[in-house]
Amino acid sequence: MAKSLVAITGLGVLSPIGLNIDEVQASIASTRSGIVPLEAPPLGKIYPAGVVQARFEDRFTALELPFLDRCQQMAILAADQAMRQSGHADLAEYGLRAAVHYGNVNGGVATAQAWYGQMLLEGRGASRPFTAMAIMGNAGAAQISIRRKVHGPVITHSSACSSSGVAIAEAARAISDGHLDIAIAGGAEAPLTASLIGVFDGTRSLAKIDQDDPSRSCKPFSSQRNGLVVGEGAAFLILESEHNARARGAEVLAYVSGSAIGSDAWHIGTPYADGQRATLRKALDDAGLAPGEIGYVNAHATATNGGDVVESDALRSVFGSGSEAPPVSSTKGVHGHLLGATSALEAVITILALRSATLPATAHLDQIDPRCALNHIPAEAARNRRIAHALSFSCGFGGTNAALVFSSAH
């Protein structure tokens, strides 16, 4: 059976660099950073963090709020944006042929932390009645499915930093193989709490705050990098078969032309170039493209010492590193690392690069680490760079890698 082309008809985002697609596009074009100083009581330090500069409680009723951690609030609202752009109110008409694929690692971590405080500091023996529903890892997917009448598969993917990339890849494959007509795919994360920030500080992987300019604390690929910056947010895509999109007269924004999910099978916390390059090559094969046909690569690069070097090795072996290689950047320097949602945000940014002919820069890349030699886009976005195909790459703790190939609708 011939495979279906997978069209993208809606995008939605809440992020440290914008509360909608237009704001994110403007931030990427100007390399505006959303990284700011963050206090995380009772931890006695100031951390750099990618913060979504808004609260959303007023968007929900008093009856809804007990069920909703900040993570699910952002998931619902970002998915709402994507649905509006796609032209759908809900997906009830599709029955079991509509799905939600959702990436998340930590669930409702703020709600969980509040309960730990009540239990350990106040001596409570039982939580609030709806705590269970607010801390679940799959709560974001469930809330979206309830609101948008999705009766088919509602699946939460949790593979660390590649979670939402895996969600998008699996949704796209189900559509391509003919099992689904449409899917809401993406992820959300709200990890800016003491319990989660302290865990990452314990791994010795967090960046120290830049005392001169906190917004410059995350420096992917730089010889001056010193660790990752945690961020929060949500991003979603509406994926559907091209036949379905054309039949209802929807605008096709771009296509998911290929994808791959692979595992390093190497180490729980250390990446491995062999696994990464195999995943990249599989994604190109799935898209039917040669490495030279990719016009831009959005790298995972988190600004950790080992991670950036390993990924650079993998990217060089697949694409090369000279001027003939595709331009590469990591946008985490402006929005931070959104953990389970980072793949989805970077997928949205990659699609915007296709549509705007503006390729994002790696912010604060004043001194490139020689071990990270690639065809970098340093400091400023590259404008008027019309491309046909782009790739977004994500790598997670545990070794799961996800590569997504997007192609222009034109």
Active site residues: 161, 300, 337
Please answer whether residues 262 and 279 qualify as being in contact, where contact means their C-beta atoms are separated by less than 8 angstroms. yes
CA dist 65 and 143 (Å) reads: 12
Under DSSP, the state recorded for 360 is P
Cα-flanking dihedrals φ and ψ of residue 285, to 5°?
-60, -40
Which is nearest to 396 in space by CA: 332, 339, 312?
A: 339
Which residues have a Cβ under 8 Å from the Cβ of 241 and sit 6 or more positions away? Answer: 4, 5, 6, 7, 175, 180, 181, 182
CA dist 19 and 383 (Å) reads: 23
CA dist 38 and 113 (Å) reads: 17
Under DSSP, the state recorded for 384 is S
Which residue's structure tokens are 């995943």?
279
CA dist 41 and 18 (Å) reads: 26
Question: Would you mind telling me the total number of residues written for the chain in this entry?
Answer: 410
Query: Angle at which helices 70-86 and 109-121 pack, to 10 degrees?
Result: 160
Q: What is the 3-state secondary structure (H, E, C) of 292-340?
A: HHCCCEECCCCCCHHHHHHHHHHHHHHHCCCCCCCCEECCHHHHCECHH
